[in-house]
């Protein structure tokens, strides 16, 4: 995980570049000990390799035994791993390791809840680019661990023609024409917010038509226009309570920014044994 290595290096530098005066003052340099990683909630594990890499960067002789893997469901008081090594190194890496593991597991757990809600339907759960700068790939990895799918990793992956692009280009048809001319092999998605825009987008037959912030009645009407000739994505106001409705309307994708931009961290503790 090249991305993880870079993220961890930055995080450790941020936290302990000037040293850890508490640990340095209280703990002998040669002290060794064992710590247990414990889940304090139900959820889904994601980022255990990232967690262990933190300690491996601080103590080359650390011994880590994991009892769960990414994607496993967690329960309260589950012991996920034991870590034996330099007490000083483990204390210095504790917060960074837990921060990353808690965040990624929170994403996986939230995604898994959404996926479970629509498991009997064709609707696929997507993430968005509403990610924390610098850790996007880790966040999107966690979405996949939870059973979701990645939208775009970056702006180069596919065309997503949104309202500002449409206005700047002079309309949906012209925007689509320019995108197709620029790279005919890339997928093209067009954002719509009204039924008139849906009809205009449908006329050019993009790969996906985004139905943005539409109420249920408008979305149903949009689906009636599009049928199965283009894929559809619901975006905006996609809440857990609305997923079943979207699924029953026959929408193909639901993108949820909250999976990455405001997810609640899974609660873990690291306790010395």
Query: pLDDT, tens digit, for every residue of 13-31?
Result: 999 998 999 999 999 999 9
Query: pLDDT, tens digit, for every residue of 63-84?
Result: 999 999 999 999 999 999 999 9
Single out the catalytic residue among 41, 94, 127, 212: 212
- pLDDT > 90 fraction of the chain, expressed in percent and rounded: 97
- pLDDT exceeds 90 at position 43: yes
Single out the catalytic residue among 40, 56, 57, 95: 95
- pLDDT exceeds 80 at position 92: yes
SS3 per-residue string spanning 147-216: CCECCCCCCCCCEEECHHHHHHHCCHHHHHHHHHHHCCCCCEEEEECCHHHHHHHHHHCCCEEEEECCCH
- pLDDT exceeds 80 at position 2: no
Single out the catalytic residue among 191, 223, 233, 252: 191
- pLDDT exceeds 70 at position 207: yes
CA–CA distance, 214 with 203 (Å, rounded to integer): 20
- Quick check: is 231 catalytic? no
Structure tokens that stand for 54 in this block: 């933190």
Q: What is the mean pLDDT of residues 210-234?
A: 97
- Quick check: is 162 catalytic? yes
Of the candidates 106, 116, 110, 36, the residue with the CA atom closest to the CA atom of residue 68: 36
Pairing of strands 188-192, 159-161: parallel
Exposure letters 124-143 (e unless 16+ CB within 10 A, then b): bbbbbbebeeebbbbbbbbb
Q: What is the mean pLDDT of residues 24-47?
A: 98
Single out the catalytic residue among 32, 152, 162, 242: 162
Q: List 210's β-bridge partners, or say none.
A: 191, 233
Exposure letters 162-187 (e unless 16+ CB within 10 A, then b): eeebbeebeebeebbeebeeeeeeee
Single out the catalytic residue among 129, 130, 231, 264: 130
Q: What is the mean pLDDT of residues 179-197?
A: 98
CA–CA distance, 251 with 229 (Å, rounded to integer): 12
Q: What is the mean pLDDT of residues 213-240?
A: 96
Per-residue pLDDT, 150: 98
Structure tokens that stand for 123 in this block: 């609707």
- Return the C-alpha torsion angle 67, 71, 74, 80, nearest 10: 20
- Quick check: is 95 catalytic? yes
Q: What is the mean pLDDT of residues 172-189?
A: 98
- pLDDT exceeds 90 at position 1: no
- Quick check: is 191 catalytic? yes
- Quick check: is 224 catalytic? no
Domains of the chain: 2-115+263-272 (3.90.1170.20), 116-261 (3.20.20.70)
- pLDDT exceeds 90 at position 148: yes
Query: pLDDT, tens digit, for every residue of 248-265?
Result: 999 999 999 999 999 999
The pLDDT confidence band at residue 3, using thresholds 50, 70 and 90, is: confident
**Mean pLDDT over each residue of the chain, to the nearest integer:** 97
Task: Give the burial class of 25: count Cβ atoms within 10 A of its Cβ; 0-12 exposed, 13-18 middle, 19 or more buried.
Answer: exposed
For the entire predicted model, the pTM comes to 0.95
């Amino acid at each position: 995980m090249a991305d993880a290595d870079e993220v961890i290096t930055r995080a450790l530098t941020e936290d302990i570049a000037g040293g850890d005066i508490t640990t340095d003052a209280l703990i002998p340099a040669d002290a060794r000990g064992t710590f247990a990683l414990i889940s304090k909630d139900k959820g889904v594990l994601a980022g255990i390799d990232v967690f262990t890499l933190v300690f491996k960067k601080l103590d080359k002789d650390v011994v880590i035994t994991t009892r769960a893997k990414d994607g496993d469901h967690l329960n309260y008081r589950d012991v996920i791993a034991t870590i034996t090594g330099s007490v000083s190194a483990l204390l210095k890496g504790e917060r960074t390791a837990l921060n990353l593991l808690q965040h990624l597991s929170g994403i996986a757990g939230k995604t898994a809840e959404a996926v479970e809600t629509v498991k009997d339907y064709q609707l696929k759960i997507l993430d968005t680019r509403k990610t924390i700068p610098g850790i996007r790939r880790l966040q999107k990895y966690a979405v996949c661990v939870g059973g979701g799918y990645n939208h775009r990793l970056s702006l180069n992956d596919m065309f997503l023609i949104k309202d500002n692009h449409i206005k700047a280009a002079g309309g949906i048809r012209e925007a689509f024409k320019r995108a197709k001319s620029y790279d005919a092999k890339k997928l093209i998605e067009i954002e719509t917010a009204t039924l008139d825009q849906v009809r205009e987008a449908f006329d050019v037959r993009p790969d996906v038509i985004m139905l943005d912030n539409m109420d249920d009645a408008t979305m149903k009407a949009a689906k009636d226009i599009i049928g199965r000739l283009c894929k559809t994505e619901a975006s905006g106001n996609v809440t857990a309570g609305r997923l079943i409705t979207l699924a029953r309307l026959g929408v193909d994708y639901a993108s949820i920014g909250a999976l990455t931009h405001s997810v609640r961290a899974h609660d873990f503790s690291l306790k010395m044994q």
